[in-house]
Structure 1
Amino acid sequence: MVHAKTIILAALLLAGTATGLRAQKVERPVVEASLSADSVLIGDRFRLNVRITKDRMETIGFPTFDNGRLSASGEIEIVAESDVDTLETQGRKVTVAKEYTLAAFDEGDYRMGRFPVLYLDKNIVDTLWSKDSMRILVRTLAVDTVKQTIHDIKPPMAAPVRFGEFGGYLLWSLLAVAALVPLVLVLYRRYRNRTGKRRRDAPDEPPHVTAIRQLEKLHDQKLWQSGKQKLYYTRITDILREYIGERYRINAPELTSREILDAAQGTGMAERPMKRLQDILFTADYVKFAKHIPAAEENENAYTDAYYFVEETKETERERPAAPEAEPVPMEEGKR
């Protein structure tokens, strides 16, 4: 009899121990989630408070929401979230908390469900959920269209332009102009005096003198000797066109070779210089447009013909009009 009681007592002790171990084994963190309000207006901020009570050896993790929105309802936006904070410690038990600041911009009744938390314990990976489901009602202000008339948006009002708005800019502009006018006058007077002096010291030379000087400079450059026949003939014809334009008042730079020869005949030009001009222009056209490569003697003849053409057609003293008498130049102030 005593033996039987001993067996029953041992069985009860074992059962109690197993029950305690089973209870200790299945005990997990407790998740609590609550909203700071049941209903809010569109755009108002409200808070989601999450508290977790767990063993200090257990590891939990808060979820990460995509695009700053709660996964349970895409219309609820996360405006801000706090760091995880420890609220209370009792022995092995620890209570941590985290706060989310939320907002909604569409009217509706949003059922957000239960809040999820990741749970890690040795080889166990699981998701824990809050006890209660969350719900928030987002409302708008009621508008009585019977008593209140909805009007269109008013256009911007036209404000009059006041002098004070641009008076400062106008004043500074006038001061800047007043400071620049004397400087401009001084620079203009210096430029005019230098230009007038240069014109008095170096009167315009006759066109044949200019042409001869340019031909001699071209001859010294030795262009055709270095294979630049096209440039050589282009410069000769340009010099002669400018000379003919000044000598006979013909717009030679704008005319073709044939047009220049026709115009030269109308001036009573002698046959010999006319033949020289024709040979030079036609040879230059062959070089420039037909890729003709003249011989060395032909290149020298082009320069010689151009030189004597100018000499044979230059103005004589009887043909040249008398130069007007130079006007007296006023002396600058301070000089006597």
Structure 2
Amino acid sequence: MVATLLRLFLILLFTSSVFAQQISVKAITDSSDYLIGDHINYTLTISHSDEVGIVAPFFRDSLARFEIIKEFPVEKAKADGKNLLRYKYILSYFDSSEVTIPPIKIFYRTKNDTALQSVQSDSIQLKIHKVSVKVEEDIKDIKPPIRIPFDLLSLLIWILVAIAIFVSAYLIYKKYFRKKPAEEVIKPEIILPPHEEALMKLDQLEREQLWQKGFVKDYHSRITEIIRVYFEKRFNLPALELTTSEQLEYLKLIPEAKEILNITESFLSNADLVKFAKFVPMDGVNAEMMKQAIEIVNRTAQKLKTEQGVEQNVQ
């Protein structure tokens, strides 16, 4: 009976030793001496084999005496065939004393045994103390104020540099960015021959369709004015100042105008009836006025002789 109990004890001892080799827990801090309110970097590392299944630990209650500033995500790694779990915290303590971070118990199971087992880390002793202050001394700044000596030469150099930068920036702006005034382009005045000018104005008047829109009197005033201006430029007559009869008398004295006397008389007389006698012409008369005006200009257009002696209209 004694031998049997001894055998069971040895088996349990051997099994515990094997499991102890399969899992270990280690807790460390970056120092053991801190000032009040310092950050304490605390790391708990669990190393275990694949045969061991860790029960997710919860040990915030074990750190209840400390202020938990930050909790980091769990780090998982492998080293020397073992699985590593690292739990990192930033702690702080706000009283001067010696304080202990208690052992952290980790629960686990093995593949061949469903019984819940545990292992724990070592405790850590910390010393928290105040900043030593000499009460008898006056409070001083960390560093005394530094007086910068006045240097006139340096000041002048900085002023010259600033002026140079300003002038350079202005010249660059003036050359590349400022809008230049548009250069005034003086177009040469194109002087058309009298007959071309008159035909151009008649074409413009016809496009306006004044009499078709009901402006009959304006139409007749405009068309006779175009012909009178043409006579002034073509025959040097003061046509705009002359009455119809006076104008016809002057035209009789000009050989080149004799062939248009009849059509000119009809043209000017119809216009006088509309302008002064309030005559309302038919549409055909209005259209005929344009044909007559064009014919007067074409038949009296100034002609030049070519080198072969053939007369051509001036273009």
TM over 0.5: no
TM-score range, shorter chain: 0.3 to 0.5
Structure with higher Rg: it is 2
TM score, norm. by length of structure 1:
0.37
